[in-house]
Amino acid sequence: MSTQALFGQLLIGLINGSFYALLSLGLAVIFGLLNIINFAHGAQYMLGAFVAYFLLNKAGLGYWWALVITPFVVGAVGVVIERLMLSRLYKLDHLYGLLLTFGLALVFEGTFSHQFGSAGMPYSIPESLQGVQNLGFMYLPNYRGWVIFASLVICLATWFVIERTKLGSYLRAATENPTLVQAFGINVPRMITLTYGAGVGLAALAGVFAAPIYQVSPQMGSSLIIVVFAVVVIGGMGSIMGSILTGFGLGIIEGLTKYIYPEASSTVIFVIMAIVLMIRPQGLFGQR
């Protein structure tokens, strides 16, 4: 393989990795702090892309507005789901949360599929990010460069908030011992609700990032979510930094596979997952 092609593939891997990282980050936050395995994450990512599409076509608000508004809209849907349904399941086994969110994902996808069909809707790259940069070894579309940059910033910011701020310390404490934290006068149920909303908002944000690259289609989430779950498992359930690093890392490995042996590109991540589970069942960065 020429070094030129190698650099190209690495960069592309990094782009896909940024989607994996953004999505697995949301999952890790939700699992780490709520102990809910959020199977609806893919559907929420898809909702994000659709909200961006609606904002553009019904309200005339473009990409940048969508980037700001969408996480709040879909996050609010998440808050409603948490209040009405998930909050009743915290005392039960993980499995119930998984079943509920899986069911919700099917309902969302089915409804959108019925309404909009499977070919999906076009969504254009915003004008200011159109065009390509010649990097010498490849042409990098400006938009893809933006996605890598933005998702790195968001990932690191999320990590910082949870691991390095007072708010984050409350959150982590609340997962360890909710009763004690509540005794200090902190409204734990509300904090948990907002955390779920934020995790869902992250998925929606990834959906907006994805809209111009992929088709805004009802299946966009389900084809991604399984991979993202594998990423979370490999990184270690609930580990924030773990999911970020694994997301980018696996994106790169997948990119290389696409070059060396493309037929295996849709399975390589699962092979890695199986190996990791055998050698280190708690995941690469997991502590439990």
Nearer to another protein, 41 or 144 (CB): 144
Distance CA 65, CA 39 (A): 27
Measured CA to CA, the distance from residue 136 to residue 138 in angstroms comes to 6
Task: Rule CB under 8 A: choose which of 125, 150, 186, 284 binds another protein.
Answer: 125
128 binds another protein (CB under 8 A): no
Spell out, one character per residue from 201 to 230, where the chain touches another protein: x when CB under 8 A holds, - when not.
------------xxx-x-xx--xx------
Nearer to another protein, 182 or 219 (CB): 219
DSSP 2: -
Q: Which of 117, 156, 167, 275 forms a contact with another protein (CB under 8 A)?
A: 117
Instruction: Give whichever of 19 and 196 is closer to another protein, judged by the CB atom.
Output: 19
- Please give the helix or strand (H or E) that residue 132 lies within, else none: strand 132-134
Task: Give residue 10's identity as a one-letter amino acid code.
Answer: L
**Assigned token pair, 59:** 């309200």
Strand partners, 193: none
Q: Minimum Å distance from CB 258 to another protein?
A: 4
Q: Which of 9, 158, 195, 243 binds another protein (CB under 8 A)?
A: 9
Q: Is 286 a binder of another protein (CB under 8 A)?
A: no
Give the Cα separation of 15 and 140 in Å (integer): 10
- The residue range among 79-87, 133-141, 186-194, 276-284 that interacts with another protein, by the rule CB under 8 A, is 133-141
Does residue 44 bind another protein (CB under 8 A)? no
Q: Do residues 269 and 250 lie in contact, with contact meaning Cβ atoms separated by under 8 Å?
A: yes
- Binding of residue 165 to another protein (CB under 8 A): no
Helices (H) and strands (E) in the chain, counts: 11, 2
Nearest to 105 by CA among 84, 83, 69, 77: 77
Q: Is 41 in the site for another protein (CB under 8 A)?
A: no
CB of 54 to another protein, least distance (A): 16
